[in-house]
Each structure stands twice: as structure tokens, then as C-alpha cells.
């Protein structure tokens, strides 16, 4: 019996030394759902759009002009063996691109079987914004019918551009003159 008491005493001693050297668990952080977005500029304004709506971002490729299409259709480009219609989004909206040719980018959209590249003034990169920063909002201006709310950050408000709405627009899909 004395050996059993010594054994439990030793275990109790080790346990008390261990509990003195143990640090508390780190405070649990609140998990915030984030949304990955592409930030771009057009017509002097900044916008974001869901990353999953853009299949790739290109520098402005060489394109072939097409006859009997509206003026905002820049042409047709061969991108890795696939024909990509290039559309000047600013011209479609009644404006003009304000950036240099070097700054312009093509956002390639491949949504519901529609494969098209839209030219924007520039792309700032990918942003991760908390979902709770999104607010429903009515928008004004040429992009109003393609905006799906806004993201409000500390220092700026970013309208959320919805490419699906653009591709569902009858005027956008009617390119023939």
C-alpha cells in the first residue's frame, strides 16, 4: 500500500508542476465569412465583382475588327485557340475608356455558355471583403442596372458589378447592326 501512495503522490506532484507551467488557450477569434472579389476601374469609378465570375484577366490582345457589329464591339481575338469577342464596356455604357492602352485589361467572362471579354480601364487586384460589409443599395449612373449592392469599407464604397446581369441584358447580347 505504501508504494501505491508514493505512486499517487508522485503523479499528483507532476500534475501540479505541469499545471503551473501551462499557459491558457488562446482566445478564440470570431470567424468572419469573406468574399473574394476582383477590383477594377471603369469610367473613373472603382468596382468589384465576384472572382468566380471571371475566368481570367488578360492584357488587351490583338483583335480582328468585325463587320456589321455595334461600335462597342472591339473585335474578335484568338485566345489559346478559342475565339473571344472583345467588348469595350465603357463604350457600351456610352462613355470612353480613360486609361492608356498599357493599363487596360480584359476581364474574360464564361458564364452560362457565353464567352466574352470586356475591356476595363484597369484591374487593381483581388480583394477579400467580409460578407457583412455588403449592403443592398440602389445605384445611379451608366452601370446602375448591373450593380448588385455595395461593399462599404472604412475608406471607400465599392459597387458590386454583376456580370450575369450584363450577360442577361438584351442590348448587350444584340451586337449586330
31-62 per-position pLDDT tens digit: 889 999 999 999 999 999 999 999 999 999 99
| 60 contacts 105 by C-beta, under 8 angstroms | yes
Give a yes or no: residue 116 inside a domain: yes
Edge-to-edge strand ranges of the sheet holding 73-79? 56-59, 105-111, 114-120, 82-88, 73-79
As beta bridge partners, residue 152 has 157
Give a yes or no: residue 16 inside a domain: no
Quick one: pLDDT band at residue 29, thresholds 50, 70, 90?
A: confident
* Mean pLDDT of all residues in 90-114: 95
Query: Residue 133, exposed/middle/buried by CB under 10 A (0-12, 13-18, 19+)?
Result: middle
Give a yes or no: residue 104 inside a domain: yes
106: containing domain: 34-173
Query: Strand pairing of 45-50 and 82-88?
Result: unpaired
21-35, 43-57, 79-93: lowest mean pLDDT where? 21-35
pLDDT at 1 exceeding the cut of 70: no
Instruction: Give residue 95's pLDDT.
Output: 95
pTM of the predicted structure, to 2 decimals: 0.80
Whole-number average pLDDT of the chain: 91
Give a yes or no: residue 14 inside a domain: no
Pairwise CA distance, residues 27 & 21, whole Å: 18
Quick one: pLDDT band at residue 2, thresholds 50, 70, 90?
A: low
Looking up residue 138, the CATH number of its domain turns out to be 2.40.50.180
Provide the grid cell at 25.
488557450
Give a yes or no: residue 47 inside a domain: yes
- Nearest by Cα to 166 from 102, 122, 107: 107
17-21, 82-86, 150-154, 157-161: lowest mean pLDDT where? 17-21
- CA–CA distances in Å: residue 27 to residues 20, 24, 31, 34, 55: 19, 9, 12, 21, 39
Give a yes or no: residue 6 inside a domain: no
Give a yes or no: residue 62 inside a domain: yes
Number of domains observed in the structure of the chain: 1
Give a yes or no: residue 21 inside a domain: no
Amino acid at each position: 500500500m505504501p508504494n501505491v501512495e508514493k505512486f499517487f503522490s508522485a503523479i499528483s506532484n507532476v500534475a501540479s508542476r505541469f499545471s503551473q507551467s501551462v499557459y491558457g488557450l488562446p482566445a478564440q477569434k470570431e470567424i468572419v465569412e469573406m468574399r473574394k472579389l476582383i477590383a477594377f476601374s471603369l469610367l473613373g469609378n472603382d468596382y468589384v465583382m465576384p472572382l468566380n465570375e471571371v475566368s481570367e484577366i488578360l492584357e488587351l490582345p490583338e483583335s480582328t475588327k468585325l463587320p456589321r457589329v455595334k461600335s462597342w464591339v472591339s473585335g474578335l481575338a484568338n485566345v489559346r485557340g478559342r475565339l473571344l469577342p472583345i467588348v469595350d464596356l465603357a463604350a457600351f455604357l456610352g462613355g470612353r475608356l480613360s486609361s492608356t492602352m498599357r493599363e487596360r485589361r480584359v476581364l474574360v467572362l464564361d458564364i452560362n455558355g457565353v464567352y466574352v471579354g470586356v475591356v476595363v480601364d484597369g484591374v487593381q487586384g483581388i480583394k477579400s471583403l467580409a460578407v457583412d460589409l455588403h449592403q443592398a443599395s440602389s445605384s445611379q449612373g451608366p452601370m446602375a442596372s448591373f450593380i448588385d449592392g455595395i461593399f462599404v469599407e472604412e475608406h471607400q464604397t465599392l459597387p458590386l458589378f454583376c456580370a450575369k446581369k450584363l450577360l442577361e441584358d438584351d442590348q448587350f447580347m444584340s451586337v449586330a447592326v
